Structure 1
Amino acid sequence: MSGQIPKYPPAALSDEPMPKRISTPAGDRLSTIIEGGGASHLSRSTRSSSRLSMNRVSAGLGLPPRESHEQSYTTIWSDANLPVRDSEKVDRSWRDDNFFLRRGGWKRLILLILIFVIIIVGVVLGLVFGLKSRNSKQSAPPSTKTNADTTPTSSFSSSSSGSSSDPDPTPTHTAAAAPSASSTPSKFPIGTYSMVTYLSTVQTNCTSNPDTWTCFPYSTYGENQAKSMTTFNWNITAGSSPDTYKISSTDDPFSVSFSNVDLNIVDKGQASEHYMFQLTYDKQVQPSASLTDDDATTTCFYNATTFQSYLYTQMAKDYPSSGIKDANASYTEWPFAMRVEEVAGGGDNVPNCYKTNNNVVGDQIDSDSLKPQAGGELCDCLYLNWFP
């Protein structure tokens, strides 16, 4: 018996505990896998291991280390070798791809929000300051001509009605500061005023013969500054209701005479506030050159000539300067800008010219030099006390 191999392994080997199944979720998932083929493989592995152990004992090599068995079981049941459910894959993928669960995700989001807010604030501030800069440029007063040696130009525009097409020809210049309310008469505009102006421009488009249209004092500012001065002496009285007035001419060297014409206020309370009146009369002109072969004295009539004036209450005047005086200015000068016009339109019998003898009207002159002009063609005399 001593020389025979024991039929069964020694007690030391039989006392070795059998591997225990680890009760874990991973173990439960693998229960299906290890049953069947897995069980037979484990049985064969156990028998093979037993034979190897007995051979090692009989050969005097001793038992194999226990850790090798335990490590093999541990390797079999480790999570690395276990299958992963699809739901766990989705959960892990979501955790890997989620921006907010990454390290620094919230900090990056806050940084992006701050950058966006800074950009918005910068755009808003740029728009605000840009609009303010543009408005300040638009509100800046334009450069003006205040040199008395500069020839003024008219801003007059014509229409076929025989009067200015601009019912409110507001001065477009910026002169010196207008007089304060304390420097004007207490009952302004009631009073008698001398309207000191200069003859700015003369237009003769309504007649085929420019010698038949003249404007007092017969010299423009550009031709002769001193001789272009013209003074209108007018009296303003109160009307029958508040803010209504009447205006009349008085001691006027100019030939236009009128009485108690309505004087209406326009654009009240605004920078362009002014009083305006308009009337129609027959303008008489003694041509500067003869119209007949016998050099007879002639007189031309422009029927329905429009005479109109704009007396401003906020716009300052430029003319006359402190060194210029007019002997015909018998009253207080109008303290603000003003504009006076005579306008006549073309057409048939414009003008009507007659021979005269000792101021007695005689025969009408029928001359080739007096061809009718279109109704839209105007003759104009423009007087100002400011420089456009």
Structure 2
Amino acid sequence: MEHFRSTQPAYDAQSSLRLPAQKRIAAPTSERLTKITEGQGAGLDLPPPIPRKSSRRHSASQSISNSLRASKRESAGTQSTGRTPPPPYEWVPEPIQADDPENGNVVDERLEKLRRGEPDNEKRRRGGSKRLAIISGVVLVVVIALAVGLGVGLTRKEQKSNNDTESQSQGAPSNDSPPQKFPLGEYSLVTALKSVDTTCTFNPATWRCFPPNGSTNTTSLASFNWVFSNTSSTYATENTAFTSKQGVPANLTVSTRNDPFGIAFADQPLTYISAPSNSSTTRYSFSFTMPRTVIPSPAITADNAAAECFFNQTVFTANLYLSTPRTFPSGKLAMSTTLGGYEQWPYAVEITQSAVGGTDVPNCYETVDGRLGTPIEELIPQPETAECLCSYQNF
């Protein structure tokens, strides 16, 4: 095996101009410092060498890292074994005195309490004060209302007592007396068409009575529904004293109410008549003049035209007896309320419609589509002593 040897070429001045100078290989710093110290002596002022890491420092750092690992293992062990760690630190504020000038900002303290979920005692105290004020106001209003009501009641009671005393001194009737009833109220006067007279007119067809085909009491039944009212607290009854033939005001009025007869009137005053010679004729009576319209049947013209006649001075009269008994209707219909709709008048009743003859009795006109047309001239006036009559009775 060949061994290569490193041969140094001979120095050549010309080649040294071409090639760079050879570098010296520097020794390591530690060897250089050692050589300098050892070879050249300690007389030089050189910095001391950097000492190597001591074994103590290395062992201290290693013990610190071991302690950290041990604490981690201990905390992990505490979680795994279920031990309770020490409670965390919790900040507890010092109590604040209201009169302490250095108590800080109270608003901030209340906000902090709200954040921690603690009740606001100051707000609660303000709410309680408001409720107390409201309750006090309500109680005060109730007390005032009771006082005012009691005062008004006592005043009215005193006034009423004074009025009663004055009434008694003036002789006014006492309010303790029982109220009178009859004839106050609503009554049905159930009657029958008793008689018909047509002598006031030239043509009997111009005066007709309701019902038109009545021949017996049953088929000629006519009902009047009237309402009786008093105009004074004292009015005439069947026990009132006797009067003259003309009678006295009864302090009563009569009006129609849902009358099937078709006659309407209101607040007609009643007269009380009680003759001393005949107590059976004691009655209420009233009378008034009314126009009466009749549609003749059969026709009263030569061409059989429809017509309508007017008796403008018809007198309506009623006598309601207070002791004479009624005899119609009889049997089951005597107390029935289906005939007129109200309680039946308990005594005899006589109701008439009458007219007397004379000029323009009656006034008759032809009608076209329900409208009045040409006057009918064929009717001859009758004497004023002649009378037309529709009479209704229940006896």
Q: Given the two structures, how large is their TM-score scaled by the length of structure 1? A: 0.49
Higher gyration radius (CA): 2
